[in-house]
Structure 1
Amino acid sequence: MKNMKRNYNFNPGPAALPLEVLEEAQQQFVAYGGGGMSIMEMSHRSPAVERMVAETEELFKRLIGLPDSYRILFMGGGASMQFGLIPMNFLKEGQTAHYILSGSFSDKAYSEARAVGNAVVAASSKEAKWRLLPDTANLSIGEDAAYVHITTNNTIEGSQFGYIPDTNGVPLIGDMTSDIMSRKLDFSRFAMFYAGAQKNLGPAGVTVAAIHESLLAACSDRIPTIMKYSTYADNDSLYNTPPVHSLYMTKLVLEWTERLGGVAAMERLSQEKAALLYGVIDASDGFYQGVIEQPYRSSMNVTWRMKDEALERQLIAAAEDLGIEGLAGHRSVGGLRASIYNAVSLEACEALADLMTDFQRTRG
């Protein structure tokens, strides 16, 4: 494996995983912890799996800097399932859910809430075609507000909130799927935040939800048991069979993150990688055109366009010839995108920057 040439992976999710994590998992694949079987074969009621889940929760809380007043839940269904579970659990009759719309996924979360109960838009940049972020300085939040929902980073469009908005005491819930573990934030400002693992935390199959005990106590008791956050908390995420191997891989990624210096180190690296790629775009005299206005650019998902789609396809083909994968923009918007999550190396970004510079010199 050490001598195997691996491609540079800029896919948006499932995304790059650290090589040393993959190698460690490979070593334990057949017989986990000397237990005579793979962790995928072990009962989720076994002491080994229970211990692994508990250690993963504590490791996540330590890296993020969360106090004991938060519970970490490991769930399935991805962030898309959370879009429905959140209003089912927390949007009571006579209350209103408030949504900050900044991209396609926040719009989907809002649509799911409307299917459950009363939901309104607190702020939106949809009319600007998501090229900027909405103004949240004076959010319109009614007295009947159950919660405010925000998507902190927009994977498809390539924008990111650089701050946590003030919700005037109303519980704030954050979808952090594509920028969790990439920067230091005051997470105590959130009553809940959640993330699909397949960007910065591990492989697809696991969703991490962090919920303050005060919000956890407000879970509805009029929905099916499997849909209640309190069920997951009361059973330490083991009410039913979880995606055990994906959860184990998440633990390995968290350990890798800690070895490299934790969230602070990831933030420094993210800034360096993003500055490198945006630098090429901005210095290209319009050959490459950034999609998002500069103050709102993401440090996780770099998006850009070229003068025509034919040229964009040529760049993608040239990249694939060099073992650089995942540059095609989301099917709903087209263009180009480089997802530079924590496991994407600076070396990979340098290779992409060199390609873009050479491509402009020969095709510009």
Structure 2
Amino acid sequence: MNRVHNFSAGPAALPLPVLQKAQEELTDYRGTGRSIMEMSHRGAEYTEIHNSAVEKLKRIIGADDQWHVLFLQGGASSQFMMVPHNFLNTDRTADYIDTGTWSSKAIKEAKLFGNVHVPYSGKGNGYAHIPTDNELQLSPEAAYLHFTSNNTIYGTQFSREPESNAPLVCDASSDFLSRPVDLNRYGLIYAGAQKNLGPSGVTVVMIHKSFAEKQRSEPIPTILDYKTHIPKIFNTPPVFTVYLVNYVLDWIEEKGGISYFDKHNTEKADLLYSEIDRDDFYHGTADKHSRSKMNVTFRLSNNDLEVQFLKEASKQNLVALKGHRSVGGIRASIYNACEIESVSALVSFMKDFRRNNG
């Protein structure tokens, strides 16, 4: 099998053992004579998968029984609206840190439901910087503080949770389960699966019970109300996607859990940034103290050289390295399923490309 080195930002590379397991069971799930895609979401087979995925996720991230885990649809973008629709009363204020495109979209949606205060915006510096706690001008009694933990487009990442007296609400789509988090700080975490958790089609939402009780008083449409989904599966879930998520969670546990991936991802990022910083041939786009361990972004001296870089990289089976269309450049996404061998192959190519074009 000729597998390429896949640096896609999302949908991203999946663990090969998970794909192979799904391939094995595709037409006959565990002797049932049917694919999991052909079974009722109310049946015993899917119920077992769903409950297993919930329990594994809670075990891996260290969540106790005070946490609800939901598998919803609509992408993380749907949570930009659902969070304030559930938790931002018209007479309350929520803090939203603006560190990129996705956080700015969340801010736009939240303003439809209540007062939004932006304690920091990185728009003026091209979103190359993650604020320190001293740079945050927080509201004294915010309903919650929303932040995007990792910014895929700009290659920046919070190194830890921002300090706030308010419950944290986090869009963790692109670094979920890649490193430890202090769950005691959070009220709600949401993440699209297509980076670190599985294929596209499902969004994980974790809500602490105490935060769920703070729901706004105004009416909420049934499908958009978190309390609709907490006690039961309300509508047909993306069955095959959750099935794959369940196997990805198995793989994460087999590898050693979050502590393993925290170390593994640091090693991969260090390899790439060391090569970028070797001289001025490659130029990292994010401030050094704000750099992401998930999405490594950099530029070359001109657009023609970047086009050549991407073309030659593809010939070496190094694919999906083109930066986001809004910013250009090069982007290597090195989520959990990206092996260090792929990063080493990219670094080796970068050395050769510098030698031939520097």
Quickly name the TM-score band, shorter chain normalised.
over 0.9
Within the candidate set 266, 274, 277, 2:269 is matched to: 274
- Secondary structure of the 1:192 match is strand
Unaligned residue ranges in structure 2 (runs of 5+):
none
Task: Report the 3-state secondary structure (helix = DSSP H, G, I; strand = E; otherwise coil) of the residue aligned with 1:12.
Answer: coil
Which residue among 205, 214, 217 is the counterpart of 1:218? 214
Q: Which of 215, 226, 230 is residue 229 of structure 1 equivalent to? A: 226
**1:218, distance to aligned residue in structure 2 (A):** 2.4
Q: Which moved more, 1:115-124 or 1:249-258?
A: 115-124
Unaligned runs of 5+ in 1: none
Alignment counterpart, residue 283 of structure 2, candidates 278, 289, 292: 289
**Could you tell me whether the CA contact under 8 Å between 1:217 and 1:230 is conserved in 2?**
no
SS at match of 1:80: helix
Which residue of the partner structure matches residue 190 of structure 1? Answer: 186
* TM-score, normalised relative to structure 2: 0.97
The answer as to whether partners of 2:7 and 2:320 remain within 8 angstroms in 1 is: yes
Cα contact 2:89–2:113 (8 A) shared by 1: no
Question: Is 1:251 paired with 2:246?
Answer: yes
| More off after superposition, 122-131 vs 146-155 | 122-131
Give the match for residue 86 of structure 1. Answer: 83
Judge conservation of contact 1:176–1:193 (CA < 8 Å) in 2: yes
Question: In the alignment, residue 237 of structure 2 is paired with which amino acid?
Answer: P
Q: Distance in 1 between matches of 2:25 and 2:295?
A: 32
C-alpha separation between the residues in 2 aligned to 1:333 and 1:324?
20
The answer as to 2:325 corresponding to 1:328 is: no
Aligned length: 357
Contact 1:266-1:342 within 8 A present in 2 as well: yes
Report the residue type matching 2:277 in the other structure. Answer: D
Mapping of 1:1-364 within 5 angstroms? Answer: 4-137=1-134, 139-168=136-165, 170-220=166-216, 222-235=219-232, 238-283=233-278, 285-364=279-358
User: 2:183, 2:356 → 1: CA distance?
Assistant: 47
CA distance in 2, matches of 1:108, 1:291: 22
Q: Is the 8 A contact 1:153 1:178 kept in 2?
A: yes
Q: Deviations over 1:230-259 (max 9, x none)?
A: 111121xx1000000000000100100100
How far did 1:144 drift? 4.6
Q: Give the aligned residue type for 2:210.
A: S
TM-superposed deviation, 1:317 = 0.4
3-state DSSP of counterpart to 1:327: coil
Q: Is the 8 A contact 1:101 1:134 kept in 2?
A: no
Q: 1:293 to 1:142 in 2, by over 3 A?
A: closer
Q: What is the CA RMSD across the aligned residues, in angstroms?
A: 1.1
How much does 1:81 deviate?
0.5
More divergent stretch after superposition (100-109 vs 335-344): 100-109
Q: Deviations over 1:279-320 (max 9, x none)?
A: 11000x211000011111000000000110110010000111
How far 1:46 sits from its partner (Å)? 0.4
Q: For residues 206-236 of structure 1, what are the alpha-carbon distances to aligned partners after superposition, in whole Å with 9 as ceiling and x for unaligned? A: 100110001112234611111011111121x
Q: How far apart are the structure 2 equivalents of 1:71 and 1:165?
A: 23
1:136 deviates by 2.6
CA distances 1:128-156 after superposition (whole Å, capped 9, x unpaired): 11111123336433345221101111111
